[in-house]
Amino acid sequence: MKLPGPLVDADWLRERLREPGLVVADVRWVPDGTGRAVFASGHIPGAVYLDIDEDLAAPAGGAGLGRHPLPSPSHFARTMTLAGIGDDDAVVCYDAARGSHAARLWWMLAVTGRAAALLDGGLEAWTGPLEKGAARRSPAPFTERLWPAEAIADAEAVATAIREGSGPVLDARAPERYRGEVEPIDARAGHIPGARSAPWTANLDERGRFLPPEELRQWYESIDVGEGGGAVSYCGSGVTACADAFAMERAGLGRPRVYVGSWSEWIGDPERPIATGPEP
């Protein structure tokens, strides 16, 4: 199946829900680990469930690693195979967080050359019936592929980008977390010095839908993002950073690198500097 682009609406999905070659992936994340139970209580018909902690990340493994490191290519391939997602399938990803969690799966599929899209507005936008119970898809062949180096930034690359001014580094977290006024998750508050605040919520309108490409482009150009994908996006653990990456690609500005370790990795080294307050 050919997707119309990286973003689809509920009407498009409803008309094609049962077509061969289309897989719908539910990426709802629940902090207490009950995501599969939430999925079983009601999901878009035919969807499969993928858990960010178990399926789309490796174990954090202690200090120095972010909370959601990338899984190994073999683990990711095995997860997709068991979920019934094959090499030639087009995947529509959704969540209940306006795309901020589903974007992680979209990014993982997109950077490895797979066809993927986000459902605009997520489950909230779906007006059709819901299905209960576990997912029921047969395993499908999903080839293992290495994570492309050009899609990923590590802490050293982030520091270099800021020092040399080779591309803006963008913080996708809420502005108050960027400024260091609150930190509900990680051990230290603040942001990477030199990074700009680019909250993922700024990509959306009041209904939780993605802004038109031209409006997204104006927003990112206002924080010095130019064409060519030279930016680096980070967040708390490499999840909502993918929502900013999605928005920049939708804006026609190229796909930025994602600092997967993000803030939770950055602060694992006490020698790394931190900043608080408003924009640099």
Active site residues: 235
* Residue 142: Cβ within 10 Å count: 23
Instruction: Please calculate the CA angle 163-164-165 and round it to the nearest 5 degrees.
Output: 95
Alpha-carbon span 10 to 265, nearest angstrom: 36
Token pair of 227 as six digits: 């064409």
- Dihedrals phi, psi of 53, to nearest 5 degrees: -70, -45
The three-state secondary structure class of 171 is strand
43 alpha-carbon distance from chain centroid: 20
Alpha-carbon span 171 to 191, nearest angstrom: 8
Question: Which region holds residue 123: left if phi is over 0, alpha if psi is between -120 and 50, else beta?
Answer: alpha
Bridge-based pairing state of the strands 90-94 and 196-197: unpaired
Which of 52, 92, 56, 53 is CA-nearest to residue 75? 56
84-122: b (≥16 Cβ within 10 Å) or e: bbbeebbbbbbbbbbbbbbbbbbbbbbbbebbbbbbbbb
